[in-house]
């Protein structure tokens, strides 16, 4: 394992944004499970999903993959041994 890689303030800002968006998406998912015909909620879910995707792409472009098992790409050299990992902060 490599030494801890220093990160800047933007790293933490993007992670915080992703956490907030993930929270909203979980809540909207639960709501839509029981209100599947709520067009406004579904529209909001799709907008937040798109926003989350854009921020996740920005994070991964700057700091490396968020997910494993083929759900995120890794640049060369292999980035999974670069820390801190998103779940460590």
E-assigned strand segments in the chain? none
CA–CA gap between residue 43 and residue 21 (Å, rounded) = 15
CA–CA gap between residue 26 and residue 44 (Å, rounded) = 12
| Closest alpha carbon to 72 in 53, 87, 45 | 53
pLDDT in tens, 66-75: 877 665 655 5
Q: Are 66 and 60 in contact, with CB atoms under 8 Å apart?
A: yes
pLDDT in tens, 35-62: 999 999 999 999 999 999 999 999 999 9
Phi, psi of 55 (to 5 degrees): -70, -40
Lowest-pLDDT range, 13-17, 62-66, 83-87? Answer: 83-87
């Amino acid at each position: 394992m490599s030494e801890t890689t220093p990160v800047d303030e933007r790293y933490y800002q993007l992670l915080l944004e992703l956490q907030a968006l993930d929270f909203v998406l979980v809540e909207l998912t639960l709501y839509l499970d029981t209100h599947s015909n709520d067009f406004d909620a579904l529209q909001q879910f799709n907008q937040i999903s798109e926003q989350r995707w854009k921020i996740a792409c920005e994070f991964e472009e700057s700091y490396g993959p968020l997910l494993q098992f083929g759900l995120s790409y890794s640049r060369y050299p292999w980035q999974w041994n670069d820390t801190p990992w998103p779940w460590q902060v």
